[in-house]
Structure formats: structure tokens, C-alpha cells
A = this chain, B = another copy of it.
Amino acid sequence: MPLFLNAQDANFEADFAAFLGTKREDSPDVDAVVAEIIADVRARGDEAVIELTRKFDRFEVTAETIAFSKSEIDAECAKVSVEDAAALEMAAERIRAYHLRQMPEDASFTDDVGATLGWRWSAVSAAGLYVPGGLASYPSSVLMNAVPAKVAGVERLAICVPTPDGVCNPLVLFAARLAGVDTVYRIGGAQAIAALAYGTASIAPVDKITGPGNAFVAAAKRRVFGKVGIDMIAGPSEILVIADKHNNPDWIAVDLLSQAEHDESAQSILITDDADFGLQVVQAVEKRLETLERAKIAGPSWRDFGAVITVATLNDAVTLSDRIAPEHLEICVQDADAMAAKIKHAGAIFIGAFTPEAIGDYIGGPNHVLPTARSARFSSGLSVMDFLKRTTLSKMTPEALRAIGPSAERLAKSESLEAHGLSIRLRLDSLNE
């Protein structure tokens, strides 16, 4: 059974705090192994990558075959059905349209002292995207990572996808081609992250690495951070649904299960102002679990980490939601827009009964890579900004320096930084000569 909480109970505050603090993920400590793998790839390059791929993926690559050739990609893409291809194309187009709107603007302005200030955005030159193999090899994730990179203007975009026993997912290659990925390497694990960060004879280094992965990949990303940029380290998926009684309990049940089916550590929470409705949803979940293909994943997730919280008024739901800071928030109440406007901390909000979260996973347009584990309090989902960086620009005229230089010189002296002050003073003195 999921956890049942009632916000009007005397011990709710303590129970809710304990619930917020629940650790859902047991990350195995693979850091020592990963450190060795990275050192090996740095020292031996391709040779190490080839050996590690043989060991972990039971697959033979060479420096020549480490990347899929164009004809191999075309052959795999030909296996994709017309219907799947059309669906991926619609998804790519909608994701591209949304992310194009995110592109930030450069600025340049001259202020009252005559200083010209501003900034300019530019793209990371090369990015590498990690795509997991096996069960969680999602073509949708390829689009969600690669499309923003291309929209941002990344010149060279590489993917690493492990192909255990040589098997790859044609949809992943199709999505990569669709998004304009330049190179797809058939390698995975910490060795792929190390190769992307440091480069080998056959793999050019990149400046930024994004994309999900297992504990080895996550540990490797943490280790190469600084040498290259990385995106967030995502935890298991979460959904919070706020729903009143004017909803079909079965719809809400499958929405909750759509996160639970991702991972036994995923979390699905319902907040409602109607205890009876809550029970109806719980019953509907149980019913669906009888037949759901992934019941063996969704069941434990729901029983171990699921929760139904009853509140006195829907306003209380907003307060609790902000404390949870959910990755996905679905709002199924009468005036869903008004409630959405009150939310401060959430990765993505899905507004109204006809916006199931799954729309956002595939085709809505916004990114599905979102902050988990309450990190929506301080971070955002993946966007074009992850593939851009800002250079600030300053240009003084002699007059501008005369106006503000003496204050800078004063502050430099107060911080005992003489050369700082001198670099201003010499110029000011030249104006008085």
C-alpha cells in the first residue's frame, strides 16, 4: 500500500517531513572502479576503450568500427516503421519549435557615463550525449538532448550508446539522424564518458556531456566535471498529481503509474482534497497493476514510495507541492491555470485533465530532462542554455574611466590590491597630462 497522509492529522508535520527525507535510491559506490576506468582510458586511449567494451558489452570494436558508419546508420534506420518514423519526426519538430523560443538574446547598451556594456551568447563547440543501452534506451531522450544542442548551435554533436552483444536500437539511430547528430559511437559505460571528456585517437574530445546513465556513468560524469561541463545527475523519476473529485480516478491512476513503471525507485504522489476520491484512485491503481506489463516495476514503486495526501483545501496542496518541489506536477482541478500560477518550485507543470504527463515525455515540446529529488528548488530542466555560455563585454571611453575609475581605484586600495589600482591610475593620469 502507498503511504496515506492527512494534512489535518496532529502528527502530519512530522510524518510529511519524514516522507520528504525518504531516500529512494541506493547508489552503489562505484567511484573507485570508475576512477580506474577513467585513468585507463586517459593512459591507453582506444586500446582501453576496446578492451572495456569487450569486457562489459561482450562485443568487439576496433578503432575503425567504433563509430557507426553512415551506411550502417541508414541500414538500421530503414528498419524503423513508417508510423514510428512519423511520430519521431513530429516529436523532433515540436521539441525544436519550443527550444527555438528559448534562445536568449545578446545585449549591448551604453550607460550614462558612456561605458558600453553587454553580453554575447555562444554555443559550446562540441557536445557528447550519453544514451543508455538495453531497457532504458529511449529514442525520446536522444531527441530531448540532441535537439536543444543543435538549436543552440553546437557545431559537433556526438552520441555514445552501448550496444551490448552488438545489438542496437534502430529508433535511437533514427532519432540521432533526425536530430542532426554527427557521430554515433557504439560504446557505453564510464569508458565512454572518459573518452568523450579526454579524447582518444578515434574519439574527439567534447566540451559538454549530457544524458542519463547508470551508476557508473553518473560517477564518471561527476569525475570529469570541470574538465568538461555536464548536465545534472538525475535521480529516479517523480510525479505529483493534484486532483479534485471531478476527475476520472482511472485517468489519475494511470498517470501515477506512468512514473511508477519507469523504475522501482520512482515516486508517484497524489494530493487531493477528497479522501474518497483518493481511495478510488488507489483502487484504480490496484486494478491496473493486475494487467500492467511492467507491474513488477510499477507495483514496488507504488507500494514503497507512492503516497496519497489528503488536504483540507486545495490551497494547502500548493504549499505542500512547493515543499516537495516535484519533477513533474500534474494539476487536475477546476481552475488549473490559477493553481499553476501559484506554484513556485516544480520542474514541469501539466495543466488540466487533458494534459497527461506522458505528453511531455514525448511530444509536448518542453524538455523531459528535469530536476529530481527536490532539486527544482534550485535548478531547471535541460534547455538550450545548457549548450550556451555567456561572455560579458565592457568597453570604457576615457570619459567613462574618468567617471567611475576613481571609485574602482579606491576599492582596489581597500582590498590591498595595488596593481589593480595602478592599472586604473596610469590611464587616468594619462588623461590629465
Say yes or no: A365 contacts B208, CB within 8 Å: no
A226 at the interface (CB under 8 A from B): yes
Smallest CB gap from A361: residue in B: B420
Contacts of A385 in B (CB 8 A): 385
Cβ of A43 to closest chain B Cβ, rounded Å: 15
Asked if A58 CB lies within 8 Å of chain B CBs, one says: no
Interface size on A, residues (CB 8 A): 122
A366–B117 CB distance below 8 A: yes
Q: Which of A1-9, A48-56, A305-313, A406-414 contacts B (4 or more CB under 8 A)?
A: A406-414
**Cβ–Cβ contact A359 & B208, under 8 A:** no
Given the known interface contacts A351-B394, A393-B340, A394-B366, the answer about A139 and B361 at a Cβ–Cβ threshold of 8 Å is no
- Chain B residues whose C-beta falls within 8 Å of the C-beta of A260 in the assembled complex: 419
Q: CA–CA, A404 to B349, complex, Å?
A: 18
Cα distance A412–B361 when bound, in Å? 9
For A359, give its contact among B111, B344, B381, B405 (CB under 8 Å).
B405
| A396 to B406 alpha-carbon distance, docked (Å) | 57
A201: CB under 8 A from chain B? no
Q: Are B139 and A359 in contact (CB under 8 A)?
A: no
For A351, the chain B residues whose CB sits under 8 A away are 116, 393-395
A167 at the interface (CB under 8 A from B): no
Specify which chain B residues have a CB less than 8 angstroms from the CB of A180 in the assembled complex. Answer: none
Chain B neighbourhood of A398, CB < 8 A: 354
9-residue interface stretch from A88-96, A156-164, A188-196: A88-96
* Interface status of A367 (Cβ within 8 A of chain B): yes
Q: Is B139's CB under 8 angstroms from A410's CB? A: no
The residue of chain B having its C-beta at the shortest distance from the C-beta of A377 within the complex is B207
Q: Is A62 an interface residue (CB 8 A)?
A: no
- Which one of A12-20, A68-76, A248-256, A272-280 is at the B interface? A248-256
Q: Using an 8 Å CB-CB cutoff, how does the interface string of A397-433 with B read, 1 for contact, 0 for none?
A: 1101100111110111011111111111011001000
The 8 Å CB contact of A427, one of B87, B228, B251, is B251
State whether A111 touches B90 (Cβ < 8 A): no
Contact of B355 with A394 in the complex, beta carbons under 8 Å: yes
Q: Are A391 and B407 in contact (CB under 8 A)?
A: no
| Contact in complex: A378, B207 (CB < 8 Å) | yes
**Selected contact of A423 from candidates B122, B337, B356, CB within 8 Å:** B356
30 contacts between A and B (CB under 8 A): A88-B411, A90-B407, A101-B107, A139-B414, A226-B233, A226-B375, A228-B378, A229-B379, A251-B423, A258-B422, A260-B419, A261-B419, A343-B391, A345-B389, A346-B391, A347-B392, A350-B394, A354-B396, A354-B397, A356-B427, A358-B412, A358-B420, A358-B421, A359-B394, A359-B401, A361-B420, A376-B389, A379-B389, A380-B391, A383-B390
